[in-house]
Structure 1
Amino acid sequence: MDQIQDNADVIEPIFKKLKDSFCTHQTKCVKFRKAQLKNLLRGLEEMEQQFHTALEKDLGVTMFSSQMTSTIITKAEVENQLAHIDEWSKEVNVDTPFVIGPGSSKIIYEPLGVVLVIAAWNYPLYTGIPPMAAAIAAGNCVILKPSELAPHSSKAMYDLVTKYLDQSFYAVIQGGVEVSKKITTFPLDLIIFTGSPEKGKLVAKAASENLVPCILELGGKSPTIVDKDCNLNVTAQRIIQGRFTNAGQTCVACDYVFLHESIKDAFINEIKTELKRFFGENSQNSNDYSKIVTEFHTSRLQELLKDHQGQVIVGGQVNVNQRYVEPTIILQPKVDSKLMTEEIFGPILPILLFENINLVIEFINSRPKPLALYYYGSNSHHKKLLEQKTSSGALVFNDSVFHLLNPNLPFGGVGNSGYGAYHGIAGFKGCSHAKPVFSKSTLNIYPFNIRYPPFTKHKLQTLSLFFKFAELPQRHVINATLFFSFLIAMKVAQKKGYLKKFLELSKPYIDKLWKNANL
């Protein structure tokens, strides 16, 4: 296909059009948002073959792989937003503390405005459409910027949005480095970016000039701990899938493994066996093994295979022209080598040996916080240590990568691996402003008027007492007041004889009701 044009001049008119369209308030209508999400789903279904062809050309993936890691899970994300949009967009009534009452309080989730989604090249569809769907569900206008490194997928997403969504409110801007640099300088209302920590810092820096908030999903080096009590076969299969799916070009892939010394030989033999079962004797001939996205990235991976001073126990072959890197396992590389300090983002898996889990935790904590931390084993004490003493975007026990598919879990990083989150309700809320609305009664009698001058010692004492119970909801005060008022009224009625008279008058009716109830 023709190379994608890197023309930054196209940005301003599209941005202005979407800004103007947002001001019409049409996207605030939930019915309109639902119609757009339904159109998006229809487009994903009708264009599924086009997306597969694009992914095959960009990354060499099979139909099964493109469905499992792109089209099916992308449709599931859109369906989740559509299924819950009515619930999530409702106003939420909250308590009002008595100290600032009487009044009512609620939260309205309102759209931010124009949201920019910058997708990554490794999973172009999945990093582009789900965050776009969350922004649509929240009532925003959206600009989608696909990666130029996956040009066929970029074109397919352009066709999807142009054909199936209202172009007054949603747009795709294709382009290269100049477009990416320029578009982040606009006064957008939110940027959702998926990519490397280095690029994420540039996005955040550009966005800061206009105080534009960001959701950054930045990857990094996700550690994997394999304990001595793990299920060897299941662990090998899930680590291989997590590391070598899409030729290792996955932000939450197992970047390196800490393997317990006592099971070193057994685990390595299991890994070798399962690699052959997954991809055959020669993975280059396997239909289930993907290509590296460009020759440049293939050369980068080739460089990582130099000077690590570890033992290559599987693989190691590279063919730059064919964008091929063999599945590679390296035992005990130097911890200060590029292999162990840079995000690999390819089909290379370093293995370090350990005996003491506390030393592993110290190592992990001495490095930038990862997007995911994986543990394979059943030691509950070790699991609790990882929960309490490590920080990562996600913590996963006995699986790799597939936690992303739970829409009830937020997906995002921490520290160097990013900030903010999306997927499910986290995506909807991340693309919304939770606007507080407080409505105060005009009742202005004591004690509600002690806030005004002239200030006296008595007013200060009363105010101090109020603030001791600042968290007390006014509804509890009102209910208590009504209850005690009722008791007082009953006491007065009893004293004046009204209660006795009321009971005498109502006795025939009570007896009749009791008789009917017994029948």
Structure 2
Amino acid sequence: MAEITLPYTPIEDIPKIHARARAAFRAGRTKDVAFRKAQIAQVGYMLKDNEEAVIAAMKHDLGRPPLESEMMDLSPVYAEVRAAYANLDQWVKPQAAEFSLNFFAMGPKLVAEPKGTVLIIAPFNFPAFLLFSPLVSAIAAGNAAVLKPSEQTPAISKIFAELLPKYLDPELYHIINGGVPETTKILELPWDHILYTGNGRVGRIVATAAARHLTPTTLELGGKNPVVIDPRVDLDLAARRILWGRFTNAGQICLSPDYVLVPADFQDKFVAALESMYKTFYPDGPEKSDSFSRVVTKAHTQRIKRLVDETTGTIVCGGQSDVETRYIAPTIVRDVREGDSLLSEEIFGPVLCIVPVKDVDEAVAFINRGDHPLAIYVFSEDPKFEQKVFSNTKSGAAVTNEVVIMPGVHGLPVGGVGASGYGYYTGKHAFEQFTHLRVSLKNPSWVDKIAFGFRFPPYTPSYRKNMRQMGGRLPPRPAGGLAKAAPKRWAFWLAFALVGAAAVLTRQRQLRLA
């Protein structure tokens, strides 16, 4: 396949692009919600009008089957466009503060305002979804935006650079193409928010650069997502879904299952189910299949090949590779032990590790020895098994009997915790990432005469009483608190009544006896 050269943005133009976007934002063009909705719709039509060219570019860069491009890259963007367009009028409405008798007259509320000029840095693996889904949210929030697609997908990044100014406001929304020098220059500039999707190493660079300007960031960083298998699982279901999640897009998915923790005495049965399902996926072999993608670059292919070559586990299926054609066969490796090459880093390729453990307790301990992943998957029909895993671990998502599909579920955000990132993207949650909730209240003059006059000197004893009344009462003191509870007045009066009643009864008895 012919190589495509991606024209890089001249480094000296990058500050000018930043300045143009910032000036356009400050001109106030994005304040109009109707304008935002029109731009959101244009994102969808930009892709829909050029769908075949975009899919062909993804085939060039990722060797990806058209179905996968439509299912996992384009359709999610269309869903984001529809949701933002339909809900934006509601999202931007001021939010009334919780009712308070002391402050209701001031009309306290929160107003969703755009942060300003934002930067979106997208990876190669889903070049449309991870670039334009955040863009839709940024537009919905009323921001200007500069996009940095991956230089590792030259065909698709080139097409997007050509299409964007034809469909969107060319002053407010820009694309910068380039590699490390261009990205370094971008990160020197002051942004009002940065959303980066990628790996933890670059995530730390982005966060450090953002900190110099006190810029808020959203980082989605992936990680090694484990699967925990209950031996009572539906084997065919588990095998089919796990292999699909691992081998789709040649395993280049931040939410892909990375390794499977399975009871050692159940490993043979589980692996046999995987082998059987593997044959149904690729009846003529994956190298000839039109349903299997390629790795994005030769360098990534070489890295994955090295991890497979150095494993001490047993290769059950696959294992073949061809660096020149960027091919890594979908591979299953069993008996992978802690410290193995395949567990040393996020594979981000079509290799599934099977890690035998004693039981679910050892599986939980194994997970907790690593960084918090973006997702933990459990395959089980037992709620207690499921709860044992999830309640004793931490991850961005906790999913049962399914993998990968969470970004497509309406209303659920994608976000990590710890080393897998922080913040959210997709839907209203991403809109909120790009929004500043500005506090608003208006205090009429008559409030000082009724409620707040005590704050002005000269202070009097009655002022302090009024101030204390404003604060209201504390909740009941906890029975097990460290401080000794003060005696309660009701207890005193109850004791007084009981003593009095006892005295009366005693006197009546004495009178009867007399």
TM-score when normalising by structure 2: 0.89
What SS does the corresponding residue of 2:110 show, helix, strand or coil?
strand
Could you tell me which runs of 5 or more consecutive residues in structure 1 were left unpaired when the two chains were aligned: 472-519
Are 1:321 and 2:324 an aligned pair?
yes
After superposition, the Cα gap between the structure-2 partners of 1:382 and 1:457, relative to the gap in structure 1 and judged at 3 Å, is farther
Which of 450, 453, 458 aligns to 1:449? It is: 453
The answer for the alignment partner of 1:330 in structure 2 is 333
The answer for the alignment partner of 1:214 in structure 2 is 217
Which of 63, 66, 90 aligns to 1:63? It is: 66
The answer for the alignment partner of 2:469 in structure 1 is 465
Are 1:194 and 2:197 an aligned pair?
yes
- CA distance in 2 between partners of 1:335 and 1:215 (Å): 31
Report deviation, 1:412. Answer: 1.0
- CA distance in 2 between partners of 1:332 and 1:262 (Å): 12
- CA distance in 2 between partners of 1:170 and 1:123 (Å): 20
- CA distance in 1 between partners of 2:152 and 2:209 (Å): 22
Report deviation, 1:442. Answer: 1.5
CA deviation digits over 1:52-72, x for unaligned, max 9? Answer: 111000000111111111112
What SS does the corresponding residue of 1:329 show, helix, strand or coil?
strand
The answer for the alignment partner of 2:361 in structure 1 is 358
Which of 94, 98, 103 aligns to 2:101? It is: 98
Are 1:80 and 2:103 an aligned pair?
no
Whether the 8 Å CA contact 1:96–1:103 is kept in 2: the answer is no
After superposition, the Cα gap between the structure-2 partners of 1:446 and 1:106, relative to the gap in structure 1 and judged at 3 Å, is closer
Which of 213, 230, 250 aligns to 2:233? It is: 230
After superposition, the Cα gap between the structure-2 partners of 1:470 and 1:449, relative to the gap in structure 1 and judged at 3 Å, is farther
1:404-415 correspondence runs (5 A) = 404-415=407-418
The answer for the alignment partner of 2:10 in structure 1 is 7
- CA distance in 1 between partners of 2:383 and 2:43 (Å): 44
After superposition, the Cα gap between the structure-2 partners of 1:102 and 1:162, relative to the gap in structure 1 and judged at 3 Å, is closer
Report deviation, 1:236. Answer: 0.5
What SS does the corresponding residue of 1:342 show, helix, strand or coil?
coil
- CA distance in 2 between partners of 1:260 and 1:14 (Å): 55
Report deviation, 1:447. Answer: 4.1
After superposition, the Cα gap between the structure-2 partners of 1:334 and 1:356, relative to the gap in structure 1 and judged at 3 Å, is closer
CA deviation digits over 1:379-436, x for unaligned, max 9? Answer: 1112222332211111111100011101301111111001110111101111111111
- CA distance in 2 between partners of 1:230 and 1:457 (Å): 72
The answer for the alignment partner of 1:29 in structure 2 is 32
CA deviation digits over 1:217-258, x for unaligned, max 9? Answer: 101111111111211111111101111101111111001111
The answer for the alignment partner of 1:488 in structure 2 is none
Whether the 8 Å CA contact 1:7–1:178 is kept in 2: the answer is no
What SS does the corresponding residue of 2:258 show, helix, strand or coil?
strand
What SS does the corresponding residue of 1:448 show, helix, strand or coil?
helix
- CA distance in 1 between partners of 2:106 and 2:259 (Å): 56
Whether the 8 Å CA contact 1:193–1:217 is kept in 2: the answer is yes
Whether the 8 Å CA contact 2:271–2:334 is kept in 1: the answer is no
Report deviation, 1:121. Answer: 0.4
Which of 369, 388, 392 aligns to 2:395? It is: 392
What SS does the corresponding residue of 1:300 show, helix, strand or coil?
helix
Report deviation, 1:469. Answer: 4.5
Are 1:149 and 2:152 an aligned pair?
yes
Are 1:52 and 2:91 an aligned pair?
no
Which of 250, 253, 266 aligns to 2:253? It is: 250
1:483-502 correspondence runs (5 A) = none
CA deviation digits over 1:251-293, x for unaligned, max 9? Answer: 1100111113343222211111111111224211100111111
Could you tell me which runs of 5 or more consecutive residues in structure 2 were left unpaired when the two chains were aligned: 476-514
- CA distance in 1 between partners of 2:313 and 2:401 (Å): 26
After superposition, the Cα gap between the structure-2 partners of 1:470 and 1:160, relative to the gap in structure 1 and judged at 3 Å, is farther
Report the AA paired with residue 350 of structure 1. C
Whether the 8 Å CA contact 1:6–1:178 is kept in 2: the answer is no
- CA distance in 2 between partners of 1:447 and 1:83 (Å): 42
- Greater shift in the superposed pair: 257-266 or 83-92: 257-266
- CA distance in 2 between partners of 1:404 and 1:263 (Å): 31
- CA distance in 2 between partners of 1:160 and 1:470 (Å): 60
The answer for the alignment partner of 1:500 in structure 2 is none
- Greater shift in the superposed pair: 250-259 or 176-185: 176-185
- Greater shift in the superposed pair: 305-314 or 225-234: 305-314
The answer for the alignment partner of 1:417 in structure 2 is 420
- CA distance in 1 between partners of 2:186 and 2:310 (Å): 39
Q: What is the aligned-residue identity percentage? A: 35
After superposition, the Cα gap between the structure-2 partners of 1:35 and 1:125, relative to the gap in structure 1 and judged at 3 Å, is same
- CA distance in 1 between partners of 2:150 and 2:454 (Å): 60
Whether the 8 Å CA contact 1:101–1:440 is kept in 2: the answer is no
Report the AA paired with residue 449 of structure 2. I
Report deviation, 1:463. Answer: 2.1
The answer for the alignment partner of 2:498 in structure 1 is none
TM-score when normalising by structure 1: 0.88
- CA distance in 1 between partners of 2:139 and 2:90 (Å): 15
Report deviation, 1:211. Answer: 0.9
Which of 271, 274, 283 aligns to 1:268? It is: 271
CA deviation digits over 1:442-490, x for unaligned, max 9? Answer: 121254222233334443343223213599xxxxxxxxxxxxxxxxxxx
What SS does the corresponding residue of 2:174 show, helix, strand or coil?
strand
Report deviation, 1:130. Answer: 0.4
- CA distance in 1 between partners of 2:152 and 2:361 (Å): 41
Report deviation, 1:78. Answer: 1.5
CA deviation digits over 1:285-304, x for unaligned, max 9? Answer: 10011111111011101111
Whether the 8 Å CA contact 1:97–1:470 is kept in 2: the answer is no
What SS does the corresponding residue of 2:244 show, helix, strand or coil?
helix
Report deviation, 1:81. Answer: 1.1
Report the AA paired with residue 390 of structure 1. T
CA deviation digits over 1:15-63, x for unaligned, max 9? Answer: 1111110011110110000111112211111110011111000000111
What SS does the corresponding residue of 1:440 show, helix, strand or coil?
coil
Whether the 8 Å CA contact 1:96–1:104 is kept in 2: the answer is no
After superposition, the Cα gap between the structure-2 partners of 1:459 and 1:235, relative to the gap in structure 1 and judged at 3 Å, is same
The answer for the alignment partner of 1:482 in structure 2 is none
After superposition, the Cα gap between the structure-2 partners of 1:6 and 1:297, relative to the gap in structure 1 and judged at 3 Å, is farther
The answer for the alignment partner of 1:203 in structure 2 is 206
The answer for the alignment partner of 1:287 in structure 2 is 290
- CA distance in 2 between partners of 1:127 and 1:447 (Å): 52
- CA distance in 2 between partners of 1:470 and 1:458 (Å): 21
- Greater shift in the superposed pair: 420-429 or 95-104: 95-104
What SS does the corresponding residue of 2:123 show, helix, strand or coil?
coil
Report the AA paired with residue 48 of structure 1. E
What SS does the corresponding residue of 1:339 show, helix, strand or coil?
helix
Are 1:375 and 2:378 an aligned pair?
yes
